Amino acid sequence: MRLISDIANSAVAIADAVRGRRITARAVIDTCLTRLEAGNPPLLAVTRPLADRARAEAKAVDAAIATGRDPGPLAGVPYGVKDLFDVQGLPTTAGSALYVDAAPARVDAEAIVRLREAGAVLVATLNMDEFAYGFATINAQHGTTRNPHDLDRLAGGSSGGSAAAVAAGLLPFSLGSDTNGSVRVPASLTGIYGLKPTHGALPMGGVFPFAASFDDIGPFASSVADMQCVWQVLTGTPAQEPREPIRVARLGGRFRDNADPDQIAAMDAIAPDAPLIDLPDIARARSAAFLITAAEGGALHRDALGRDAMAFDPATRDRLLAGALLPDSLYKAAQAFRAQYKQRIIELIADHDVLLAPATPCVAPPVADPRILIDGALSPARADLGIHSQPISFTGLPSLSVPLRRPGRLPLGLQLIGRPGGEATLFRFAALLEDKGLTGVTSPAGAREAE
């Protein structure tokens, strides 16, 4: 049998080996559970290991193969989900102590159902900011998820546990959610691939909401091939393979004002002749996104805040209370501006297939001092790591965070932003960058350089 260590970080390779009977799904899952038990304590990425369920699902995969049936394109591949997906038999906590004793979910979230039908094996739920409200995965109940590249730094959030588990090599892929950047931010800071799809493209059934206007689920993976495989399973359709030349542009203005020099150099090297586009009213768009997010989040939790506001994480509670008090007229004005803005941006980028932009403004900040430089002044990382992702969520466009090749240095990512429904083009362009060695995942070992 092929050694598990040879394929542990590749979903495609694991599934191929399991389907080819070179290894059993049970052996893959037992090894994965052992690694999670050993590797999670320093990371604080896992909230609940699901060993019994995982072994039962692996047994079903092996039984299917024994009878000559193909269990699916993700046969025997272990994965985890952010702690806001419904998992049958468990309370859906959304990272909050308020719902630890809630009634258990009666069925799995739709995304989990689709993955199970494709042979994937759920092994854990993963840490997050309470109610997905933050970019840091600083959680009062489960602790702060650490960055595998430097345990003294944040993994980003709010899907930090999902990103850290993949970046550390504990899982081949995972699922998170992205409202204003909660997949793309931790993907950038931990050096992996993370997708925010076209708004509404992936199934949201059984996912605890934050702000429905922006909420999407999205996968993390360590290669474009794995990302594309998971995408095809979740959408239920194969990704189209367009063959036309890809028209690229670079985003300027605020996207270059708050960026690492390596990000700017990479964008200019990837597409030196591509036009530089300034998206209009970026600051206004981000402010409107903040307002809509706060209003929808506050409305969702208004009753719980009224019953026991002190049970919330203090950092979450204050923002939810502020959102609950926002006048409805402001919310409606922000939504009206959003509708107009989306149309303006789609018209502006009509001649381009991929827009290049930074995914985060900097590398992961230290846990001990979670602040970052924005416009030359220190700003809370928990609020402002999404400065480049939030305006893209506002438009509903798909965005794939890809890791720059930075061996021995802390990770940084770029956003590949597409037109509505343009995920296949993003995957194709990302694969070209990966093949050229411009992007790709590097091992966390040794990447502790102070920056």
Active site residues: 82, 158, 182
Q: How far apart are CA 147 and CA 154, in angstroms?
A: 5
Q: Residue 158 pairs with which residues in a beta bridge?
A: none
DSSP 279: -
| Sign of torsion over alpha carbons 426, 431, 436, 442 | positive
Q: Give the closest residue to 390 by CA, choosing from 428, 425, 341.
A: 341
Cβ proximity of 354 and 418 under 8 Å: yes
Burial of residue 353 (number of CB atoms within 10 Å: 0-12, 13-18, 19+): buried
> Which two tokens mark 203?
């199934």
Classify 79 as helix, strand or coil: strand
Residue 310 CB partners (closer than 8 Å, separation 6+):
317
Q: Give the closest residue to 356 by CA, choosing from 310, 413, 436, 405.
A: 413
Report the relative pairing of strands 248-251 and 377-380 from DSSP bridges: unpaired
Q: How far apart are CA 271 and CA 246, in angstroms?
A: 11
